[in-house]
Amino acid sequence: MKLNVEDYRRAARTVLPRFVFDYVDGAAERGDCLQRNRGGLDRLAMRPRVLRDTRGLDTRIEVFGETWQRPFAIAPMGFNGLTRPQGDVLLARAAAAAGVPFVLSTASNARLEAVVQPSSALNWFQLYVMGERAIAEQMVRRARRAGYRALVLTVDVPVSGYRERDVRNGFKMPFRPSPATLANLATRPRWLLRFIAHGMPGFVNLAEEEGSDTLQLQAALLSREMDRSLSWESLDWLRRLWDGPLLLKGVLHPDDARQACARGVDGLIVSNHGGRQLDGAIATIDALEAVLDAVEDRLPVFVDSGFRSGLDVAKALALGARGVFLGRPLLYGLAVDGEAGATAVLELIATELERTMILAGARRITELERGLVRAA
């Protein structure tokens, strides 16, 4: 029986090969940041209101003129096709059915045109800038043509975090599995059979043309060799290519939040990449307040990293976040049961959020107020 996200995590561990589970579940260096994210959320306690009519509960929010059925979304994640063949498409479908955004990663394994869900107005695209700027330009133009609504520029990967579990597993491109990895693969026959049927997923959006350059780019993307010349000035370049909502993902410092407002960015995602980048980084729930103060309601502020329940989501919203992005929980669901597993995780978190709202006396998301949370 799977009653919470941790149950899905445990089940995912039993179906995924170890190098895949470690890639999904892992974090940078000692995992301090990963733990700090949890610690920050756990330290907050709710101070509920009582005797409030909570019939007709409504969890919808408005973002950039669109309605989200729930105040959360699926975060961009690379290599979803490794967890399940067509993982990007399955997650996009689950999100569209739930009425929440799905953010397709630059490191996706399906063509961005094939992932976009026409039934949803909430297809978003995440951009990494690497190598020739022309690669990013090509992807942004295609994303625009394909109907992606918002562009998320990830800014916390100037270089890869040191993912010790990936290093130990030799997880890089081209992948050369060790004897230990092969032995472990033999214990994951279902994953292995699917993998054999579909082949090794690649990063197919980097360049339209096939060729040896593409292979080199794919290896560079997995080792996260990004363009370190990217700066605040580069936003002007991006603005010329993209006229829809532009968000920065990976902002933690209030001065950067102010800078983003001054540069005409449309939204921020307070994120430490789920503890996968700078291991010394502050917990996102602890960084949120200063960022919100700096922004002064000029743009919506979202948050991610470490959110595992509807209660966690409620805490961030009470502090003033517009919405929450969820990463690994969706991959645990995807690993366990494909699209149905991802849908189940979205439903689980929605149900937890609804119950939390009723218990806290909030009928609408706007009623999740600052006074409802306290440091425990």
Ligand X SMILES: CC(C)CC(=O)C(=O)O
In this chain, which of 110, 140, 221, 346 binds ligand X, going by CB under 6 A? 221
With contacts defined by CB under 6 A, name the span among 13-21, 185-193, 218-226, 354-362 that binds ligand X: 218-226
Cis peptide preceding 48, ω within 30 of 0: no
224 binds, options ligand FMN, ligand X, none, Cβ within 5 to 8 A by partner type: ligand X
Which residues, including other chains, have CB under 8 Å from residue 8's CB and lie 6 or more apart?
2, 329, 332, 333, 336, 341, 344, 345
- Positions in 134-173 near ligand X (CB under 6 A): 157
Could you give the CA distance from residue 33 to residue 31 in angstroms, rounded to a whole number?
6
In this chain, which of 77, 135, 217, 345 binds ligand FMN, going by CB under 6 A? 77
Q: Does 224 bind ligand X (CB under 6 A)?
A: yes
Residue nearest to ligand FMN (CB): 327
In this chain, which of 273, 308, 315, 322 binds ligand X, going by CB under 6 A? 273
Q: Which tokens in the block code for residue 340? A: 């149905």
Residue 68 pairs in a beta bridge with: 61
Catalytic site includes residue 198: no
373 binds, options ligand FMN, ligand X, none, Cβ within 5 to 8 A by partner type: none
295 binds, options ligand X, ligand FMN, none, Cβ within 5 to 8 A by partner type: none
- Positions in 315-334 near ligand FMN (CB under 6 A): 326-328
84 binds, options ligand FMN, ligand X, none, Cβ within 5 to 8 A by partner type: none
Could you give the CA distance from residue 197 to residue 339 in angstroms, rounded to a whole number?
18
Could you give the CA distance from residue 10 to residue 336 in angstroms, rounded to a whole number?
10
Check if the beta carbon of residue 166 is closer than 8 Å to that of residue 21.
no
* Helices marked H in 169-247: 179-185, 189-198, 212-222, 234-241
Check if the beta carbon of residue 71 is closer than 8 Å to that of residue 303.
no
For 144, phi then psi, to 5°, come to: -65, -45
- Residues in contact with ligand FMN by CB under 6 A are 23-24, 75-78, 105, 107, 126, 154, 249, 271, 273-274, 276, 304-307, 326-328
- Residues in contact with ligand X by CB under 6 A are 78-79, 107, 157, 221-222, 224, 273, 276
Active site residues: 273
